[in-house]
Amino acid sequence: MIDADGNNRRVLVRNASYPSWSPNGDLIVFDRRRGDTDDLWTVRPDGTGARLLVRNASFGAWSPDSGRIAFSRFVGKNVDIWVRSLATGAEHRVTRSR
């Protein structure tokens, strides 16, 4: 994190990549490497409250209402797109690669 003027640089989380701010500004979703797989995590903009959201997933993208996150997940040798509700934790597979 860094101020708009380039000052006050600070690290929110370590070993993170592909961050994406929620449209409402409440959370940031990011990838975190674990061995040879990625997991999706969320954290508050002040760096607190980091929590594992989805295992074996990457490239989180927010819905416009900040209530869902779309992500990619390996299923066998293929990659599919899934959507997870933040309110319920329910996941829905959107694509089925062959």
Inside any domain, residue 98: no
Inside any domain, residue 1: no
Indicate the helix (H) or strand (E) that contains 21: strand 16-21
Q: What is the mean pLDDT of residues 84-89?
A: 95
Inside any domain, residue 49: yes
Structural domain containing residue 32: 16-93
Please give the residue that has the higher pLDDT: either 3 or 87.
87
Residue 61, pLDDT > 90, answer yes
**Is the separation of the CB atoms in 39 and 30 below 8 Å?**
no
Q: In the structure, what pLDDT confidence band is assigned to residue 9 with cuts at 50, 70 and 90?
A: low
Inside any domain, residue 84: yes
Q: What is the mean pLDDT of residues 35-39?
A: 86
Q: What is the mean pLDDT of residues 70-74?
A: 93
